[in-house]
Chains A and B, each alone.
Chain A
């Protein structure tokens, strides 16, 4: 009998042990998924993350970010201070859920959280970001472009995040093609070709006649459309004329074969920055590598893409993709002043290393030496640090045909109105994009698509008033 009891106890003990082991592997799995999400991270980072799976990250700051920028900043930080950071790059779609889960669970990591303007209000409301004023952030108030500084404050005016960049938008265009087709590559003159959507269509026709395409995709003017009116104002959904005009433009660009049918952020969209790409058949699933390869084999026409509508951080996208076309690009005004995104850096309220995290934020956003370095490696990203902006105002950027890019960005940044950004932007913008797709592919009529859009917003956000 005694023996049975002993065996029973021993077995229970073994099970309890295996349970504990399960609990332990839970955290491993979590960090694994975090590192797998950072597919865009450099190989060395992934290796670092893998090494750290089983143990605490020690004194290292843990940074969860949306873009590769902070990886570069962290490398530079290590170079300058000797302090190491663990950077995890998370897919934008997963980011809010991941950090909310981490925050809710009370985890002390990540120490550093980032957010785009549309995410920040939610962070403030949830109390996720630490007060930066306790570290004397306000001493730097006059060093950062005003709108950036203000966006980093919650409703009570407490500083909770700072961004290293301003994000005005423009049209990036190929100077060599401009000279050939329009006889000039002067940004002033090329800007006139994008003065309004009708002119954009004329320009598209002229380029097509010469075998070029004005854009890779029909979504290149979205950034300008988004900067005209907010999707939601005082609890009312707003679908003004500018939204309708943008919808019409997309449909015309698509149906008139004015683009290469390479959707934004697909591989061919990037490839087109370096020169020739095939003109894809409309509706090709370019996210599927197999389909893309087959489409490329069957394509009967190749083309070069003339322009992209991107914010100032587009210089980074260009830098990583232009290859042989380096130096052949220019930047001009779009149909209106516009802006998009921007990475704001804050400290998690749960962090145990707030002082160290503040040191990192200061390094990334408020240090002249870092800004000078960033300006150089990014090939001209527009920083928010005023002394650097002023110092380089008259610089000519060799990558962009010796254009005074900094002066241009500063001029465009003057009209940035961040009150146009709302937490609803992502979901409403996606639904609008869906409506545009169903019209341009003739799945439904314009009336039906817009009515379905209104229906969807009404059901998704009952708190909003929808005036049809």
Chain B
């Protein structure tokens, strides 16, 4: 039997380096990259890199051999090769100025077909939904792009179309769950068929020229090429699931993809938002079939009241409440507010929305409509205000959605300093630092009352102080008045003057009596003291409580624990150290945040107090001035 050579079997044959893969596929690096992106083939991390690389220890990009063999049978490999041939032939035609042939060739441009790849990468629809995050984020980004060298207008136009369609689906299905304004963009999370789909809508206007090293648009464009196909099929299925016509039909006045709209960026964007404000055509002609039976609660309850079921029930109730959160509310968006995210938000929770018709198309009602309940404003002040509506800042909507209830609007009024905007994506039961605002959200009764009581106590103190101060003021004023009175009295002289002197005398007598009594009391005291001492001698003294020094005990415990920690098995020692270090950094982080918060709170409190004191001082001064005037 032949003795097997090294690296002829096992891991070494499982992996293939990129170089070898390219050679095997007979493609250029660019084509290979394109193929990998489209087919979703990625490098693998071998278990033993050295073995997988046939003994060399430098880090190479390794692919699974089976993946590469799989690529070998892909039909688009031929299309990629056709591209190359096409490029050669057309360039030849161009060079010899054979324009007729060139025209013919250009018409026969080899189109790449990706449908089968979508099916192959996502065998079930749920798989596709699971992977929709990156897809949507990238499409939303590309839908805002201008026409670039590597990104044709058609592509960003298609992106725009697909994202609008998706947003329409989200609005129609009311599947939006969480929203968040980050410094990077607006995060949206929808729950579609049980899958959480999160995407980012960048702040306006995300595009800026990038150097080649920073961002390679070519690569992103290839991703988008695939993602548009994926999103298209996903949209198709989603729309059909809701009995909506696909492609969606918009009001004819909107969204005309002619050349003019392509050129004008502003109208391009505004059209896109306008489209969101209209209902879509349905195939089944049944308007708003309302509540669909989500989970049959009764059926579940029969199984038994386990905690999980209760939780599910609560969740379902919350969601149903969320879906109709803005129902019956009418919003008007001022022109300085970014409309797109707000329109999605309001429309998907049942609200009605409009904006200034003179600035952007698609408005459904005017600003002077008396039935508007909320006007969303993002400026410090507004000249004309209606009494019938609340002027709120856009954060209110986001916070409402995240807390799944309509919040009081007074914190969000025009020009008000906003409360912190918290992320809805953090785990509320995590063991790291939780800011007090979040604590208040989860346990409003306890924390708020606590805070209130604290505040109250503080306020009480402050009030007391204030009251005292006021009292003093009053007293001073009274004193003044009294002195004035007496002065007047002395001036003019009164019949009661003599009586007053008598009263004084009697008071003096009383005092003398008191002194005598005191002497008597002292004698009595000595006797009792003696008795008491005697008693004390006989009595059983109460035992002293032995106080345990908590700190020492704690220290001893820590020492003990440390000693035990030294008994960790040698093979676990590094892991143990790592874990401990992680834990320590986490704790440190938490401690730092807590400390910062404490300092900030203290500062604000101090500032408040100072302000109050200042105010009081002013009041006192004013009072004094008034008193002087009186004088």
Indicate whether A and B interact.
no
User: Which residues of A does B touch, CB under 8 Å?
Assistant: none
